[in-house]
Amino acid sequence: MLNVFKITTVMITVLILCMAFVPAVNAQAEYAKYEKDVSALFDEYGITSEEFKSTVKEAKLLMDTDNQKLYSIEKDGDVGYVYAWKDATIEGRVNFAFISEKELLQQETLSDDSLSSKSFENTLVTYAKGTFWHGSYYQSYGNSITGGVDFHLVPLDAEMVSNGVSVIGGASLAVILGLAFPAIGAAGGAILAPVLTVIIRGAFWAAQNNDGSLDLRITYASAYVAVFGASLQFPGITSGYVIIAGISYLL
C-alpha cells in the first residue's frame, strides 16, 4: 500500500511539473515567433531596433498641458505628428490623431512657410481635431493595479497600424502607448509598439469590427510586465497580454 502511495505521489508531482512547464515552453515559442516577425518589420522599415527606439526617443514635445499633448516625429525627412487631448465629456478618455506633414501640405491653406510660423501649433491642433481625427481614443478603467486601457482605432488608423509599413506610423503608436501607460513611458512604448503591430497585423482581418475599426485591451500589469518583466507590484503575473476580439495574445 505504501509503495502504491509513493508511486501515485510521484506521478502527480510529474504531472504538475509538466502542466507548469508546457505553457512556459509555448509562451517562449510564441515570443520567438514574434521576434522573427518584429525583425521582418524592421527590415520593412529599413532600420534597426535601436534606430526605431532612437526615433521614438527623439520625438519632440511641441505642446504640453494637462489636457493636451502634441508631438512631432521625424525620420529621414519624413515628418508626422501625434496629437492627444482629453475628452471634454467622458472621464478617463483621451482622443488622439495621427497626422502626416505631407498630407498637411496638401491642404490648400497650408504652405511650407506656415510650418515654421509661430501659429503653426494652433493650426495643427485645428486640423488634428478636424481633418485628421475620425474617432480614435483610449479609455482608462479601474485602478493602477487591476485596471488598464481600452483602445479604439477607427478604420483608417487601424489599417495604418495593421499595415505597419511606416517608421513614423510605428513611432506614433509608441508615443500613444507611452501616454496611455505612464509607468513605461515612450521608451517602453517603443518596445511594445513593434510587437503590437505584428499581433494586430495577424489578427486584424478576423478581429476587426463590421465597420473596419478595431478594439483592444491591455491591462496596466500586462504593459509593465511585458516591458520590465515580473514585478512585486503585480504579484503572480509573469507575462503581458493584449486582448483583441476576446482572444489574448502574448506581448
Question: Which mean pLDDT values do the consecutive 10-residue runs of the chain (251 residues) have?
Answer: 41 37 38 75 89 94 94 90 95 93 71 64 82 90 94 92 83 96 95 93 91 96 93 89 93 88
pLDDT of residue 27: 37
d(CA 92, CA 220): 14
pLDDT of residue 32: 54
- Whether the CB-CB separation of 162 and 1 falls below 8 Å is answered with no
Helix axes 185-207, 49-57, angle to 10 degrees: 110
Please report the DSSP string for 201-234 in residue order: HHHHHHH--TTS-EEEEEEHHHHHHHHH---TTS
Burial class of residue 157 (count of CB atoms within 10 Å of its CB; 0-12, 13-18, 19+): buried
According to DSSP, the residues that pair with 149 across neighbouring strands are 140, 218
Tell me the CB-side half-sphere exposure of residue 80, using CA atoms within 13 A: 20
Q: Tell me the whole-structure pTM to 2 decimals.
A: 0.83
pLDDT of residue 26: 36
Q: Which 3 state secondary structure label does DSSP give 70?
A: strand
- Whether the CB-CB separation of 87 and 95 falls below 8 Å is answered with yes
According to DSSP, the residues that pair with 60 across neighbouring strands are 72
pLDDT of residue 183: 95
